Amino acid sequence: MSKSYFITGTSTNIGKTHIATGLLAAASNLGLSTAGFKPVAAGCEATADGLQNDDAQKLLSQTSLSLSYEQVNPVALKPAIAPHIAAAEIGRRLNSERLAGFYRGLMTKKPDFCVVEGAGGWKVPLNDQETFSNFAKLIKLPVILVVGMDLGCINHAILTAESIRRDGLPLAGWVANQIVPDMDHYKENILTLQRWISSPMIGEVAYKSEASVDEIAEQLDIKALL
Burial of 23 (0-12, 13-18, 19+ CB in 10 A): buried
- Active-site entry in 3, 16, 38, 123: 38
Task: Decide if 38 is catalytic.
Answer: yes
Name 171's bridge partners: 143
**Alpha helices, DSSP H only, in the chain?**
16-29, 54-61, 69-72, 83-89, 96-107, 132-139, 153-166, 186-196, 213-217
Q: How far apart are CA 164 and CA 97, in angstroms?
A: 19
Q: Give me Rg for the CA atoms of the chain.
A: 16
Residues designated as active site:
38
